[in-house]
Amino acid sequence: MSHTYLIMEFANGLIGMIKVAYNNSKDHQPPSSKAVPGNGKFSGPVEVSFETSEASNIYYTLDGSRPTFESEKIKLSGIREDAETLKVDKTTTINWFAVDAAGNIEKNYNPLSKGNNFNSVTLTIK
């Protein structure tokens, strides 16, 4: 391989990264998400997954408290691989919010304030 080819390949990679950063800077649309399954009664352990409108991180709590940036996090790739799931084996309330790559927070929730416009589901395990 010639040095010119390697330099061109490296430059194309940098241009691609700049395009991604530029597109993220123009993204002002917050993601949306839902837990699957949602609220309900179940007879045994349940695997809970999250569906999002775009690749996002999910910050969640399992103890009924408000989720913050200090909460547990599920990383979602959004395209190539399945996201982590949560195994729920006792009655649990999951509170969460999604944050996309551009930093937009679902429902304009502010995890640093006292707001409560985060998502919530309760799974009752018999």
Check pLDDT > 70 for residue 43.
yes
Average pLDDT over residues 50-65: 92
Residues 68 and 110 reside in one and the same domain: yes
Number of domains composing the chain:
2
Domain of 8 in residue numbering reads as: 1-29
pLDDT, mean of residues 36-57: 92
Distance CA 39, CA 109 (A): 21
Overall average pLDDT of the 48-62 stretch: 92
Beta bridge partners of 59: 73, 97
Report residue 28's pLDDT band, with 50, 70 and 90 as the boundaries: confident
Residues 15 and 46 in one domain: no
Q: Which of 97, 36, 34 minimizes the C-alpha distance to 61?
A: 97
Candidates 123, 119, 124, 126; CA nearest to 48 is 123
* 18 and 65 housed in the same domain: no
Residues 80 and 118 in one domain: yes
What is the spatial distance between Cα 83 and Cα 96, in angstroms, rounded to a whole number? 15
pLDDT in the model for residue 54? 87
Domain co-membership, 21 together with 37: no
CATH of the domain at 84: 2.60.40
In a shared domain, residues 38 and 11:
no
Do 54 and 74 share a domain, yes or no?
yes
Domain check: are 54 and 7 in the same one? no
pLDDT band at residue 66, thresholds of 50, 70 and 90? very high
Structure confidence by residue, pLDDT tens digits, 95-121: 999 998 888 999 999 999 988 999 999
Report pLDDT for 23: 61
Within this chain, do residues 68 and 46 fall inside the same structural domain, yes or no?
A: yes
pTM of the model: 0.76
What does the pLDDT read at residue 82? 64
Determine what percent of the chain is predicted with pLDDT higher than 90.
55
Query: What pLDDT, on a 0 to 100 scale, did the predictor assign at position 84?
Result: 83
